[in-house]
Amino acid sequence: MTIAGLAPYARKLASLGRKSRSRTLMAPSGVDFTSNDYLGLANSQRLKDAVRRALDNHVPVGAGGSRLLRGNHPEHQALEHEAGAYFGAEQALYFGSGYAANVALFSTLPQRDDLIIHDALIHASAHEGISASRAPSVAVRHNDVNAVADAINGWRRAGGRGRPWIAVESLYSMDGDLAPLRELKELATRSEGFLLIDEAHATGVFGQGGRGLAHCLGHPENCITLHTCGKALGASGALVLGPAIICDFLINRARNFIYSTAPSPLVAATLRESLRILADEPERRAKLSGLVSFANREMAETTGTHASSSQIIPLLIGDNARAVAIAERLRKEGFDVRAIRPPTVPEGTARLRISITLNVDEVAISRLFERLAAILREEHR
């Protein structure tokens, strides 16, 4: 018997299916061109050995409570101390996920009289935090510093009295392009505001020692960075880095920090090893850089598509159903490529998001783009 109360959900799922926007869970299969394991650390021997050492040292799997109760394990504090030193920040604060960290940042730090100015393509987790904030917000054109300045000036002219919070990603997860961080930092300083930089996809890959694209800014007191740990660092969680007073304020006021069970101490111990790998093995970044350059050349030669600025290479398809169909053909031929559709990307911009990691080599990259080019040619016959 069908429960009547479930009917609205069934109708909405059917509507998603008609728009080719329905999602299902799929296990990893084929050559990895979709994960964010950029440095190949998730299955690395060094991280496995770090887990074994931590277990031998009686580090628990679970924290048993929130950080403000009994869940504040020495491994959390050691990770935060080492991360702050490595990234050059006064203090670090470890969250269970990048999503939770972004929600905490945006819902807690901007005050009622402030204004949040965010890039139109910023991550969904930032939008979630912004929707929970007491501060008003405005979206601006992607990577347009002048649009940010215009938004601040218009707000001031209308009587805005607080501080502007400029929110960007240093490397955009679905477009693969880089933010103009120096110009944005100068604008934030001139405007007596703050710059929030999500380094999720730059951490471990860009900057001196994999410290991210914002490292060149020198961590001034009006810059707060977010480094997720489930991508190039190979584990899970996220680190917020900035002035000590900002981290202390989050400890006292961020509800999803205060009322969440602390992240696994075992994962925190593992991430300490991830930071050591960044310092010890620069060859991983060098190898990835070579693969990215090779992939961009292959894509340009086989498909005529412009190169990406990073390890994230989007191929714009446009139509949802077509993007899904191409991705499915590639998966059947042994390449794990996924279609990205609205609302993750704007309407009419469905795409294949091709991720280059150390889990592939030049042979696999060549084969992928040969097959992709052949599929695209077949479509135009």
Catalogue the active-site residues: 36, 123, 169, 173, 198, 201, 231
Cis status of the peptide bond prior to 343, with omega within 30 of 0: yes
In contact, 181 and 170? CB cutoff 8 Å: yes
Contacts (Cβ under 8 Å, ≥6 apart) of 195: 165, 166, 168, 181, 184, 185, 188, 222, 223, 224
Segment (H or E) for 376: helix 362-379
- Alpha-carbon distance 280 to 369, whole Å? 33
Type of residue at 169:
E
CA distance readout (Å), 369 to 29, 175, 177, 297, 303: 18, 18, 20, 10, 8
Query: Which of 42, 36, 40 lies closest to 312, judged by CA?
Result: 36
3-state secondary structure 253-322: HCHHHHCCECCCHHHHHHHHHHHHHHHHCHHHHHHHHHHHHHHHHHHHHHHCCCCCCCCEEEEEEECHHH
Tokens at 271, concatenated: 């991430």
- Alpha-carbon distance 10 to 31, whole Å? 34
- Alpha-carbon distance 283 to 289, whole Å? 10
Q: What is the DSSP letter of 214?
A: G
The alpha helices in 66-180, defined as continuous H runs, are 74-87, 98-108, 124-131, 145-157
